[in-house]
Chain A
Amino acid sequence: MNIVVCVKQVPDTATERKLRSDDSTIDRSANGVINELCEYAVEDALKLKEAHGGEVTVLTMGPDQATDAIRKALAMGADKAVHLSDEALHGSDALSTSYALSQALKKIGFDVVILGSESTDARTGMLAAMLAERLGVPQLTLASKIEVDGSAISIHRQTDYGYDKVEATLPAVVSVVEKPDPFKPRYPSFKGIMAAKKKPIEKIGVADAEIDPAQIGLAAAWSVVSDFTAAPPRGKGVVVNDEGDGGTKAAEFLVSKKFI
């Protein structure tokens, strides 16, 4: 099975994250880590490979520093990587990113594309759906479990009441969610890290993937950041004294803040 897993490098959520002052895009210059849900995607890809054989290819779109995220995925056990990197891609929004990735995916070829259901930087959560549409294949989103049987693929989609079983035919796009132990992403092993250094990373640009420059980058973006301000500092908390009506008071507070 030809499995492609999309992996994104994001600014570390444990550190202070910034937008660039010149063009309001995310500052990707420092503290890049692999997006946490992408690690789950890699884990699921590796499990599929272990069960059905084949090859896992990592696909990343991002600046040069994104190689760190790629190496991590390779250290976990992916076989090779394609790194789509081009100055022209800078500032692409979700729509143009899905276009660029779909072009790269057409080049690579795939039976299944797996990606995290969202990234911790932009948090649009739309990429999987957009990608499936662009590729003209079924989308199976928010999967907590993936099963493949011949050309049939099915997932469990977590719901409030349990899970829905969603089925489709390969090729398909799957987005995955966080899962508890023992389904957490594996740590790279010593041999995995050493081997990753020797695995091939193919660097491609916009032209190699036959991407139309008019449809990517800041200029082509459908969404525009017109302004931004820092989050206000947290105000003083409210203490509710429970005189038998604590529950009501707490609920009233939440209503007043439009939380419920």
Chain B
Amino acid sequence: MDFRLPESARAVRDGIGEICSHYDMSYWERCEADKRWPEEVWAELAKGGWLGLAVPEEFGGGGQGLLELTVATETLSASGSAGGSAFTYVLTPGFGAMTIARHGSPEQKAGLLPRLAAGEIETCFALTEPDAGSNSLAITTSARLDGSEFVVNGQKIWITGVQRATWMLLVTRTIPAAEARPRTNGLTVLLVNVPEAVAAGTLSYRPIPKMGANTTPSNMVFFDDLRVPARNVVGEVHGGAVVLWDILNPERILLGASALGGAEVALRVGVEYARQREVFGRPIGANQAIAFPLAAVKAKLELARLMLYKAAWLFDRGEPCGTEANIAKLTASQAFWEAADAAFQTHGGMAYSLEYPVARLLADARIGLVAPVTEQLLLNYLATQVLGLPRSF
């Protein structure tokens, strides 16, 4: 067994690490406070070929896989961007590039991949609806074939990054959930040109004021007789589930990686304060009540890292990785939350001051237990799919 990262992944860690070393915590804090996309970092990532890591070389990419994207997301997040801002890396290099590379038609690949790799265009992913979150198969946004076009009607919620996206990966129902046998049948993934649809007045969106992760807005999205050419189907009509699983597993792994990086940031911030702050004449870190939660987080985040890399490695080999992806996501999100919580307690009252990064980290960490999949649903998966316990729902 060889636990070393391959050269390609080490190159990612070094290269992105070097870019990030020029953009410290305060840079990311300013982006968050100003609700501003990290343009400078984005431009450097594009220039260095880091956005196209998972795009095949023939389309101008780095020809790598999910493991490299995982290390990239982790590095970006650990540098100080932490959980929320790592959406920067997941939406386009993850959702867009990986999905088109795996499931796109030859025309979709030729048209989109080179531009995705160059950072010229961005993507977002629309699955969640007001009445379909954890129960995502219950989505009702419908696509009906009309000649050579699909006509889409419905509503999505929490869709992140619509503002910058040229293309939306939109999950629709071509067979209503109630009629679909099995329930995973009848899903169709469409590529929607967002600016064109907005111009046509068939797609509109409204940002949701939110608690954190404000470098990238999340939105309610409305589709009103949106027309999508049939050639924009990704994968098969009715057979979108295959595409969807290949989005959801990497999504779990990448957002797990972003949580892992966030846990590292929170731990760093907590440990530093525990070392410096003196109360009763000694550093507070000398008290085991302060030290142990930090130490426990260290143990957990290292475990999460191993499982994240394993899950990504399985995915890249084309092997099933659902169990590993879910365990990795669960552990990494918990590690981030516990790290942020420990950093908070370590800072005492100062944690509550926005002069310190702890409040932001806490807000970032909290999302990980809810999105893109909740802690309960991850445990449900392990209980029913892995342990074979009866299903209650």
Is A19 on the interface with B (CB-CB < 8 A)?
Answer: no
| Chain A residues numbered 139-197 whose CB sits less than 8 Å from any CB in chain B | 186-194, 197
**CA of A59 to CA of B11 in the docked complex: distance in angstroms?**
23
Is B8 on the interface with A (CB-CB < 8 A)?
Answer: yes
**CA of A190 to CA of B12 in the docked complex: distance in angstroms?**
7
| Chain A residues numbered 109-159 whose CB sits less than 8 Å from any CB in chain B | none
Residues of A within 8 A of B12 (CB): 190
Residues of A within 8 A of B15 (CB): 75, 187-190, 193
Number of interface residues of B (CB under 8 A): 15
Please, which residue of chain A has its CB at the minimum distance from the CB of B14?
A: A193
| Chain A residues numbered 189-245 whose CB sits less than 8 Å from any CB in chain B | 189-194, 197
For this complex, 19 residue pairs linking A to B, each with C-beta atoms less than 8 Å apart, are A186-B47, A187-B15, A187-B19, A187-B44, A187-B47, A187-B48, A188-B15, A189-B15, A189-B47, A189-B48, A189-B49, A190-B11, A190-B15, A190-B49, A190-B50, A193-B11, A193-B14, A193-B15, A197-B7
> Chain B 12-27, CB within 8 Å of chain A: the 1/0 string?
1011001100000000
**CA of A89 to CA of B332 in the docked complex: distance in angstroms?**
49
**CA of A12 to CA of B63 in the docked complex: distance in angstroms?**
33
Residues of B within 8 A of A (CB): 7-8, 11-12, 14-15, 18-19, 44, 47-50, 53, 62
**CA of A193 to CA of B50 in the docked complex: distance in angstroms?**
11
**CA of A189 to CA of B19 in the docked complex: distance in angstroms?**
10
**CA of A75 to CA of B53 in the docked complex: distance in angstroms?**
17
**CA of A186 to CA of B19 in the docked complex: distance in angstroms?**
10
**CA of A193 to CA of B17 in the docked complex: distance in angstroms?**
13
CB distance from A5 to the nearest CB of B (A): 19
CB distance from B384 to the nearest CB of A (A): 40
Query: Which 8 pairs show the lowest CB-CB distances between chains A and B?
Result: A189-B48, A193-B11, A190-B49, A189-B49, A190-B62, A187-B19, A193-B15, A187-B48
CB distance from A40 to the nearest CB of B (A): 15
**CA of A191 to CA of B7 in the docked complex: distance in angstroms?**
12
Please, which residue of chain B has its CB at the minimum distance from the CB of A181?
A: B40
Residues of A within 8 A of B7 (CB): 194, 197
**CA of A197 to CA of B15 in the docked complex: distance in angstroms?**
13
**CA of A193 to CA of B6 in the docked complex: distance in angstroms?**
13
CB distance from B209 to the nearest CB of A (A): 35
**CA of A192 to CA of B7 in the docked complex: distance in angstroms?**
13
Known contacts A75-B15, A194-B7; 16 further A-B pairs (Cβ under 8 A): A186-B47, A187-B18, A187-B47, A187-B48, A188-B18, A189-B15, A189-B47, A189-B48, A190-B11, A190-B12, A190-B48, A190-B50, A190-B53, A191-B49, A191-B62, A193-B14
